[in-house]
Copies of this chain bind each other. A is one copy, B any other.
Amino acid sequence: MVKIGILGVGTVGASVANILSSNADIIEARAGKKIVVELGVVRDLNRDRGVNIKLSSNPMDIINDETIDIVVELMGGVDEPFKLVKEALRRGKAVVTANKALLAYHRYELQELAGDIPFMYEASTAGGIPIIGALKNGLTANHIESIQGIMNGTTNYMLTKMIKEGANYDEVLKEAQRLGYAEADPTFDVGGFDASHKLLILASLAYGIDAKPEDILIEGIENITQVDVEFAKSFGYEIKLLGIAKKVDEGVELRVHPTMIDSNSMLAKVDGVMNAVSVVGDKVGETMYYGAGAGGDATASAVIADIIDIVRGNTTPMLGYKRGLEGKFELLPEEDIITNYYLRMEVDDKSGVLAKITTKLGEFDISIESMLQKSHRNASHVKLLFTTHKCTEAKIQEAMLELRRLDCVHGNITMIRIEK
């Protein structure tokens, strides 16, 4: 029998406890041992959590209990769980966590501290989808060429509504909040920060690259409008919020932003709150992993898979290899990213304007690939939408600054990156 302690019995913690009980038969068959929850730790002992386990309000009751072999951390936050998880590892307890923020900031320290003690985190990224397992075990023969993922259900739900139903950003955000998909302050999701944590975890498995959220390009979906969605459609794209890790000659690109992707790609077909991660290996080609990225039971499914793996005695290193062995990979500076861009701007409805804009773009060696002009009824401005051939992020950013200074350009310019 293996005893576990759960730090944080919220939605996911309650699911873990309940599934360990309801699916005990099959879990024991697969793990080879009975797994029981010895103790759960919660802040407020008076709240009913719908679980039939012993509860305490003191995390040290788990850490100090020598009969507990595995600590499951589901508290959220960074500093407090970091402290507790470190202490658990020091006592030789295996750790399972679903905490993406903890890993986005401290995964290398934790790896070092864990050493040969199992430290697992399948649930931290893309919920119930076993994407960590795929990278840690399934694709190990490959150099990973790229990872592209829809890793945030809230924004994918919102974009799907905008694409399929023509809804506006504000409407769809309100609906997502009403349905509990988005928080009252939705910034963490819609701003791309949640996805960035998950991307950093996957990038460590693929490239051993040590970056923090502050180090990488993160843009949210706040500026996407129906005009962009329609433009994308007419040119064979869909707009998805992607986390992208990509090996280039000079390093590894890490970025999170709304992206126009081929509407025939598998990722473009992932609708609603679902998540999916596409991984390209140099030998296996593209593989894709699809499923629920959130939800108590789906996340608990991943947590329990990790627990079973530990009980079976499996000993894959935390990040799939020892640190340093892939040390040649460095984060590519943002300005060196090369891709195609879509720009939307308001310009004067006058002859000569297009010439001015293309001339200005030409000064930065940027050429237009396809274009659409949309006139407002009875207005002196038109919307100019176009995509560019490949150029660097540095050039497009400089060009956008200069374009904004032109008399014929009004207001902000919206830019969306394209992945072909």
Contact = CB atoms under 8 A, between A and B. Distances in A.
Q: Which of A137, A266, A288, A313 has the most C-beta atoms of chain B within 10 angstroms of its own C-beta?
A: A137
A110 interface: no
B122 A283 contact: no
B284 A30 contact: no
A291 interface: yes
A405 interface: no
A240 to B, nearest CB: 15
Copies of the polypeptide in the assembly = 2
Interface stretch (A43-51, A55-63, A189-197, A304-312): A304-312
B29 A141 contact: no
Interface in A151-169: none
A130 B141 contact: no
A23 B325 contact: no
A32 interface: yes
A286 to B, nearest CB: 6
A141 B23 contact: yes
A270 B143 CA distance: 25
A16 to B, nearest CB: 9
Interface residues of A, number: 61
B282 A128 contact: no
Interface string A129-142: 11001100111111
Contacts of A244: none
A137 B317 CA distance: 16
Contacts of A291: 284-288
Contact of A314 (B285, B289, B304, B315): B315
Given A284-B128, A301-B283, A308 B269 contact: no
Contacts of A289: 287-290
Contact of A130 (B31, B32, B134, B283): B134
A184 to B, nearest CB: 27
A11 interface: no
A282 B31 CA distance: 18
A149 interface: no
A125 to B, nearest CB: 12
A285 B128 contact: yes
Contacts of A300: 141, 283
Closest 6 CB pairs of A and B: A130-B138, A141-B304, A287-B291, A29-B325, A128-B284, A284-B301
24 contacts: A19-B283, A29-B322, A32-B321, A128-B281, A128-B284, A128-B287, A130-B137, A133-B134, A137-B137, A137-B308, A137-B309, A140-B304, A140-B305, A141-B301, A141-B302, A141-B303, A283-B297, A283-B300, A284-B298, A284-B302, A288-B289, A288-B291, A290-B290, A314-B315
Interface of A: 15, 19, 23, 25-32, 122, 128-130, 133-134, 137-143, 266, 269-270, 281-292, 295, 297-298, 300-305, 308-309, 312-317, 320-322, 325-326
